[in-house]
Structure 1
Amino acid sequence: MQEIHHRLRDLQGRQNPLQIIGKDIASKTKLLCLDEFHISDIGDAMIMRNLLESLFTEEVVIVTTANWRPDKLYEHGLQRARFLPTIDLIKAKMSVVNLDAGEDYRLISLEKAGVYFRGSQNEVESSVMNLFDLLSKENKHSEMIELQNRSVLTKMVSKEVIWFHFDEICDGPRGKDDYIELAKQFHTVFISRVPKFDKDKDNARRRFTWLVDEFYDRRVNLVIDSEFALTSLFTDSLGGTEKDRTESRVIEMQTARYLGEAHLP
């Protein structure tokens, strides 16, 4: 979707830009496969109907997976009523197949590889530092880096491994482009002191979700330390389907299988 938004900016002032984008995609692609289709951003939600209509008009075949049925897409999202016609379009144009086996084996049986450190800062700092030293090898130091022309303070950085305090990377003026840029540059990212996401942390929670999504897509290794268990980071009343997806992805990102996959910068 980031690419679609970039194209829309390039086509600013043109009539029916999403039709132009749909025709361009169709000229190169007859079968479009999307893994884990979800909508979490109001900007994506507002353009999705016209984008899908354009692709369907151009006879692009779309195959996608999702963790929930269409009626649950963008649940609790801003101005969701304006997104409901998109859900109707999906249900009218696509066949929905339920593959739920009753258990999420990814959460139950995958072996954890020890990249989620739970405890106070004093309890986990040395273990996290030892892992950073092991992965970075070359010279490492704390410094300011530039992300989208904004300065960000690191706890430690080396050539392909970087370490942030949570507040620095998720509790400030950060956007998806920041996380895409990080995912391109670093194969491993450490984040310390991830908090429990109660109501006053809603903006930080949203940014953390964006970060996890971008890192997951590019197979970035994510090392986290927190005082809280992963499954208690989100309160039940916050996050909706985003909560389930983010928890599931962070759990998978701890597995030997995920960690063994190649970085996709």
Structure 2
Amino acid sequence: MEKTIFFTPDILSNVELPIEEGQHCVKVLRKKEGDEILLTDGKGFFYDAEIIQANPKHCVVNILNTTEQPKGWNFNLQIAFAPTKNIDRIEWFAEKATEIGVDRFTPILCQHSERKEIKSQRIEKILVSAMKQSQKALLPQLDEIQSFSKLIKQDFDGQKYIAHCHPQQKELLKDIYKKGGNVLILIGPEGDFSEEEVKEAIANGFRPISLGESRLRTETAALVACYTIHILN
């Protein structure tokens, strides 16, 4: 039977569970002093620990063993996406992509963006939950929302692609991606990237791609891109 995983990002400097995790451990799961539990710091490590103080507000543990969990993929995957008007759809994408495996999420503001801001703390909680549910020890990085122009000008050591629906020559992601390479993929809003944004991205080293014949919603396209990279690897 798989153990419940508790997220303890500062476990090496603080052997007390964060209050929400402590309450879940002691009040909900009724763990007691002497019980062993499994922790992760979200940085690629699992910790076997023993509860030495079973207080919901001050659940203190003693680390018994440390295990490094390999990431599971030998490349870095960054998905930059324009948040949808219905934030539930982006939260769904973030959850599912974390379960599959992604290194970094970057929300971007585009000319046709429907949403100008997001609640990072809410999405962060979803990422933590998805990480624990999928038995991973690596929490994806979630960036603050930034402009499209700022993002495409940043250095990136790897392959860069922009997915769009304009009628111009594009190659399928599955045909153009080179296996094992770091990759950054741009996914636009429901109204797509503007023609000016596509030109600007190409001028900054991004290659235009298609994800198939169907016109996909933003969150579907982002998840298909994530899954395609994993399948190819």
The answer to which structure has the higher strand fraction is 2
Whether TM-score is above 0.5 comes out as: no
Looking at both structures, which has the greater relative contact order when contacts are Cα pairs under 8 Å and sequence separation is at least 6?
2
The answer to which structure has the higher helix fraction is 1
Task: Report the TM range for the smaller structure's normalisation.
Answer: under 0.3
* TM-score, scaled to structure 1: 0.24
* TM-score, scaled to structure 2: 0.27
